Amino acid sequence: MSRFADTWRARLLTTLSGNDRGRPKWVEKMELGDDIGFFGPGSASWAVHGGMATMVAGIRALLMQTLHPGAMAGVHDWSRYEEDPLGRLSGTIQWLVTVTFASTEQAVHESGRVAHFHDRVAGTYLDAQGMERPYRAGDPELLSWVHVVFTDAFLAAETVWGGPIPGGADQYVREWSKAGELVGVIDPPLSERDLRGQLEAFRAAGTLKSDERVAEAVRFIRYPPLRPSMLPFYRIMFAGAVASLPVEYREMLGLKRSRLPVIWATGVVLGLVRSLLGASSSSEDAARARIARIDAADSKRSRG
């Protein structure tokens, strides 16, 4: 049983971080830097992004992202998600974790890497009214959509499966607006009410649509090429993510809420993952090591 647990843990860490120890080189660099970063211990962002519910949040965010035809065009035309889905996942996780836990210098640098990639993502798409429109990944509307659905997904998942958020939902939305600003989002939401308003505005304006391209992406998210041993757990989390979506978005995505107790079952799966990976993340550990070093140096200077 111990050998099975070790094997499954290594495979899970490889899936999430690209490294079977869960500590790739970009995590090790988080021990470097001269400040606590944009957030720090006790922040809402550390609480939300350091928890297991992020695994379900990622699924929900990907599902929601497909509903904007411009964002879907960028993924369809430029993403390597079908050829290397785990590589794309690791890249997204690298940005999220770095902005959350690294020093401000590293967070800015990582966001610049993402923005640089966006510079070459461009093309055309058919909007919800059937009109052809040009797009660039750096367009304010597309950046806003991705940021809003990301923030919404992580807040919702933490609310359902996580613990108390320091400062509450408003604090998390306000903190994570900084991440949006770093990649070029204009006027990111600063409160939960603002977040709900911006999300609803996309739907009310008739911006979103569902078509075969969306259905194709949803099928891929539902049945990703994971190892057979991981698929049963993933399918439960997928069902949990679907159950957490408001009904209007489930209908647009062509998904139905399972009649089984998938919210509870997802919590069980996340508890199992927590028992395998441990309560703290390697990223948080590296960040705390950096902060302890800075505090020790400050203390030494004050005594001198």
Report how far residue 299's alpha carbon sits from residue 285's, in angstroms, rounded to the nearest whole number. Answer: 21
pLDDT for residue 246 is more than 50: yes
Picking from 147, 139, 99, the residue whose alpha carbon sits closest to that of residue 123 is 139
Joined together, the tokens standing for residue 187 give: 């006027």
The predicted structure's pLDDT at residue 1: 41
The predicted structure's pLDDT at residue 137: 78
Report how far residue 226's alpha carbon sits from residue 245's, in angstroms, rounded to the nearest whole number. Answer: 23
The predicted structure's pLDDT at residue 4: 47
What does the pLDDT look like over 167-196, one tens digit per residue?
999 999 999 999 999 999 999 999 999 999
Domain count, the chain: 1
Give 147-214 as a DSSP string.
Answer: HHHHHHHHHHHHHHHS-PPTTHHHHHHHHHHHHHHHTT-SS---SHHHHHHHHHHHHHTT-----HHH
What mean pLDDT comes out for the span 112-136?
84
Percent over 70 (pLDDT), the chain:
87
The CB density around residue 166, as the number of other CB atoms within 10 Å, is: 16
Band of residue 279 on the pLDDT scale cut at 50, 70, 90 = low
Task: Give Cα separations from 247 to 93, 154, 192, 197 (angstroms).
Answer: 28, 18, 19, 17
What mean pLDDT comes out for the span 101-121?
87
What does the pLDDT look like over 36-92, one tens digit per residue?
999 999 999 999 998 889 989 999 999 999 999 998 887 777 665 555 455 456 677
Q: Structural domain of residue 43, as residue ranges?
A: 2-303
Report how far residue 291's alpha carbon sits from residue 294's, in angstroms, rounded to the nearest whole number. Answer: 5
Report how far residue 215's alpha carbon sits from residue 220's, in angstroms, rounded to the nearest whole number. Answer: 9
